Structure 1
Amino acid sequence: MAEARPERADAARNRRAILRATEELLARHRPDQISMEQIAAAAGVGKGTVFHRFGSRMGLMVELMRERAYALEGAVTTGPPPLGPGAPPEERLMAFLDAIVDVVGRNKGLLAALGHAATAAPRPAREQGEHRDEAGGEHPLHRFWHGHISALITARRPDLDGELLAHILLGSIQSEPVLRLLERGETSRLAASLRAVAAGVLAAPASGDPPGTSA
């Protein structure tokens, strides 16, 4: 079998331009308000180039989120603390929540759109591949975020259900009231509130208190 050829320089340039244009449009519009024609015009390429590269609008949205997932995963695994290794779990969790808010704030509505796509009709085979989760339809970004948050909560509070708490934290970001808040540009308000919730979750119970009691 022949080895896959490296991506041509012009193709790589077009890909970066399309993804950048998509993110810039998402900063002002919901995904269902953005057409492939708009994306192509903003990227300075033909509409056919966008369809050939990504297959559909949802395929493009998924690819954009994969890009964000890889960037954030790199910062978490090899970047400097507190987002990267070397800081206490609570500091890393706060930094990670801030990073999530930044990503979602720059891509308003994208998580909700992908969540809807996971429950809608199956996508064409060209759009599935590694994006598909046979167990639950979650896209790669959500799986990574959930796993990291769960691990940090468990590292600080092994007595708690870190897996469920991570789902609760992430679920709140995808709620309609929060998405409307992000559309108004209130990312700092969301970040502060998530930090407050996380601080409450990670607060250690008073020494000697049995589970479920307060000091």
Structure 2
Amino acid sequence: MSVSDGLTTLSVSEPGPPERGDAARNRALLLDAARRLVSEHGAEAVTTDDIAAAAGVGKGTLFRRFGSRAGLMIVLLDEDEKALQQAFLFGPPPLGPGAAPADRLRAYGRERLAFVDTHHALLSDVGRDPQMRYNAPMMLHHSHVRMLLDQAHTSGDLDAQTTALLALLDADYVRHETTERGRTLGDLGDAWDTLVGKLCGT
């Protein structure tokens, strides 16, 4: 396997065709407005009307630039998402290549838990849009976990096992466990480690 294990980083906000000057300006205005409003009020409280009004453009412009509210929100995740992808694909072990598959899975789970805890509101919002939840950049995580299970010689249906593992990293599940059940990210990381151990026989 290569250092990248055959995978490459993907922008979570898939690039479109080159934009005209006014379109690029409107896109930047919308992103700046969305960042400011999400920071001030939280993603759940921010509507497309709010964002368009704060950006000084029509709501139709928002949909032309991003396709949907979720499409805009996922762009806000882009920089941090690409940094995490870079770390687990190319960074140092145990998260990156060079460690045993089970150790990489354990490191990945804890890194992703921290990520979804930090970005809960945006990830929760994006997760409600099936087109965004299952787009190519998001499926990179599925491919990565499945690859590591395969490298660990895990038996059975790897796709089902990958889906079961990733359910433990779902933003709404993590938030429920930490706010309603009083569990810490460390507790959730321990649960992830236990399941990884059972699946990988370690």
Q: How does 1:145-184 map to 2 (within 5 A)?
A: 145-174=141-170, 176-183=172-179
Aligned length: 179
Separation of aligned partners in 1, 2:156 and 2:68: 41
Task: Check conservation: 1:104, 1:111, Cα contact below 8 A.
Answer: yes
CA distance in 1, matches of 2:197, 2:39: 33
For residue 160 of structure 1, give the secondary structure of its aligned residue in structure 2: coil
* Relative contact order higher in (CA < 8 Å, ≥ 6 apart): 2
Using the TM superposition, give the Cα deviation of residue 178 of structure 1 relative to its aligned residue in structure 2, in angstroms.
Answer: 3.3
1:90–1:202 Cα contact (<8 Å) kept = yes
Deviation at 1:21, TM superposition (A): 4.8
Greater Cα shift, 67-76 or 100-109: 67-76
User: Residues of 2 paired with 1:172 and 1:61: CA distance?
Assistant: 22
Determine the C-alpha separation between the residues in 2 that align with 1:156 and 1:54.
39
Do the aligned partners of 2:88 and 2:96 also contact (CA within 8 Å) in 1? yes
Residue equivalent to 2:201: 203
- Alpha-carbon contact 2:102-2:200 (below 8 Å) kept: yes
Q: TM-score, normalised by structure 2?
A: 0.66
Matched, 1:87 2:83: no
- 8 A contact 1:90–1:156 mirrored in 2: yes
Q: CA deviation at 1:191?
A: 1.9
- Distance in 2 of aligned mates of 1:104 and 1:110: 9
Aligned twin of 1:108: 120
Q: Are residues 1:97 and 2:93 paired?
A: no
Separation in 1 of the partners of 2:171 and 2:31?
30
Q: Percent identity?
A: 23
Q: Which residue of 1 aligns with 2:3?
A: none
1:169 shift after superposition: 1.2
Q: Within 5 Å, which residues of 2 pair with 1:177-196? A: 177-183=173-179, 186-196=184-194
SS in 1 for 2:103: helix
Amino acid at match of 1:113: D
**Partner in structure 2 of residue 70 of structure 1:** 82
| Alignment CA distance shift 1:22-1:145 (3 Å) | farther
SS at match of 1:173: coil
Distance 1:93 1:156 in 2: 10
In structure 2, distance between residues paired with 1:83 and 1:17: 32
Secondary structure of the corresponding residue to residue 129 of structure 2: helix
What is the one-letter code of the residue matched to 1:168?
A
Q: CA deviation at 1:159?
A: 2.4
Max radius of gyration: which structure? 1
Letter in 1 for 2:190: A
After TM superposition, give the deviation of residue 22 of structure 1 in Å: 6.9
In 2, the alpha carbon distance for the partners of 1:4 and 1:142 equals: 23
Moved >6 Å (runs of 4+): 11-16, 37-40
